[in-house]
């Protein structure tokens, strides 16, 4: 069960914005029985050659750096592990594994939120960046949004230094423009000033961002701040989060309309995570004839959508 955790900054934001409040306020529906009992739909543990290192795609590895976050989003896909007791991470063992796999060129720090352990993160970033065949460092975080007061600016020096030879990408998880307050904006500016390349990830959430104006505002604002909207995910079909899921037809309608209204630069890729962890599959728009009842994953396996269909 995902623990409840917020902080005073977020409390203020939750008072001002229902969209923010909804994302962090525990609700009874998390415990109700739905269509799925799935808790690990992406089978991450089947691709784990070193504890907390996921090697699913040939050229990149995902590091589950911590189980801790600055605040817990009630729709979290990794709710089976996030907020649970922390395990020690053996970075040196991970370095050994990566050194012996020259096909890996990218290290992605995720979790939990890696920026909740800034000093350990900095040390690990340097260790991975020293490996010659690692060309890209990427960090997924929500700290600048949920707890900007926790942001440790020692990370800026590391980004500056590593960024001289290898790009450091920061992927910011944000779902609504109300999350982009003054403090968050300042951190975005600092990260850009340090040379980080900023991208964003969002999730379609019922009652938070399931309409065109809300997402147009969010993606336009991010682009103006120098953050490229990268992905918008269909909310994963995981036990305890079904009440957040929007009908797929509605998502497609929204993305089709958005394509007409915002610039290509501000338009993210809409994806659904294939069950079993076989790829982030792009969802079609209504500019094309398509069938929303099924799709194929990266291994050409057909996935039926009926289990995931949520009535309009
Ligand atoms: S910040 Fe990310 S990992 Fe942490 S609770 Fe939110 S969605 Fe889950």
Can you tell me the mean pLDDT for 277-294? 92
Paired sense of beta strands 106-110 and 60-64, if any: parallel
Total domains, the chain: 1
Axis crossing angle, helix 182-193 with helix 212-225, rounded to the nearest 10: 40
Q: What is the rounded average pLDDT for all residues in the chain?
A: 93
Asked if 61 and 91 count as a contact pair (C-beta separation under 8 A), the reply is no
- Which residue minimizes the CA distance to atom 5 of ligand 1? 72
Range of the domain at 98: 8-308
Q: Is the residue at 162 inside a domain?
A: yes
Using the CB atoms, write b or e for 215-240: b if 16+ within 10 Å: bbbbbbbbbebebbbbbbbbbbbbbb
Q: Is the residue at 224 inside a domain?
A: yes
pTM of the model: 0.95
Evaluate the omega torsion of the peptide bond into residue 263 and state whether it is cis, within 30 degrees of 0: no
Lowest mean pLDDT among 131-135, 284-288, 303-307: 303-307
Mutate to test the pocket of ligand 1, among 5, 7, 63, 76 (most ligand atoms within 8 A of CB): 76
Can you tell me the mean pLDDT for 287-300? 92
CA distance 58 to 102: 10
Percent of the chain with pLDDT over 90: 79
Q: Which CATH number fits the domain that encloses residue 57?
A: 3.20.20.70
Residue 312 pLDDT: 47
Residue 303 pLDDT: 87
Can you tell me the mean pLDDT for 234-258? 94
- Which residue minimizes the CA distance to atom 6 of ligand 1? 73
CA distance 179 to 145: 6
Q: Is the residue at 145 inside a domain?
A: yes
Q: Is the residue at 18 inside a domain?
A: yes
**207 or 78: whose pLDDT is higher?**
207
Q: Is the residue at 3 inside a domain?
A: no
Q: Is the residue at 2 inside a domain?
A: no
Ligand 1, CB within 6 Å, residue ranges: 69, 72-73, 76, 78, 82, 111-113, 142, 173
Q: Is the residue at 282 inside a domain?
A: yes
Can you tell me the mean pLDDT for 6-20? 97
Q: How far is the CA of 25 from the centre of ligand 1 (A)?
A: 14
Q: How far is the CA of 204 from the centre of ligand 1 (A)?
A: 14
pLDDT greater than 80 at residue 43: no
CA distance 219 to 198: 13
pLDDT tens digits, one per residue of 204-244: 999 999 999 999 999 999 999 999 999 999 998 888 899 99
Mutate to test the pocket of ligand 1, among 114, 141, 142 (most ligand atoms within 8 A of CB): 142
- Which residue minimizes the CA distance to atom 3 of ligand 1? 112
């Amino acid at each position: 069960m995902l623990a409840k955790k917020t902080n005073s900054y977020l409390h203020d934001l939750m008072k001002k914005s229902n969209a923010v409040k909804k994302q962090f306020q525990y609700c009874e529906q998390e415990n109700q029985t739905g269509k799925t009992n799935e808790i690990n739909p992406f089978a991450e543990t089947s691709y784990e050659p070193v504890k907390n290192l996921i090697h699913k795609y040939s050229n990149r590895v995902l590091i589950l750096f911590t189980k801790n976050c600055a605040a817990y989003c009630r729709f979290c896909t990794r709710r089976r592990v996030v907020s649970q007791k922390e395990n020690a991470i053996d970075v040196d063992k991970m370095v050994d594994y990566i050194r012996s796999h020259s096909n890996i060129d990218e290290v992605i720090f995720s979790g939990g939120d890696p920026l909740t352990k800034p000093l350990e993160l900095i040390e690990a970033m340097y260790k991975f960046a020293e490996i010659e065949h690692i060309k890209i460092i990427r960090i997924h975080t929500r700290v600048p949004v949920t707890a900007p007061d926790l942001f440790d600016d020692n990370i800026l020096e590391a980004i500056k230094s590593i960024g001289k030879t290898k790009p450091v990408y920061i992927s910011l998880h944000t779902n609504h423009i109300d999350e982009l307050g003054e403090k968050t904006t300042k951190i975005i500016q600092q990260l850009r000033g340090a040379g980080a390349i900023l991208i964003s990830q969002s999730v379609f959430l019922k009652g938070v961002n399931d309409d065109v104006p809300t997402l147009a505002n969010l993606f336009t604002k991010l682009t103006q701040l120098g953050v490229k909207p990268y992905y918008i995910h269909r909310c994963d079909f995981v036990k305890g989060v079904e009440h957040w899921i929007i009908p797929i037809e509605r998502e497609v309608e929204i993305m089709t309309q958005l394509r007409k209204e915002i610039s290509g630069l501000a338009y993210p890729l809409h994806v659904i995570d294939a069950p079993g962890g076989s790829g982030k599959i792009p969802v079609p728009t209504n500019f094309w004839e398509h069938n929303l009842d099924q799709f194929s994953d990266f291994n050409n396996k057909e996935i039926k959508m009926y289990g995931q269909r949520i009535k309009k």
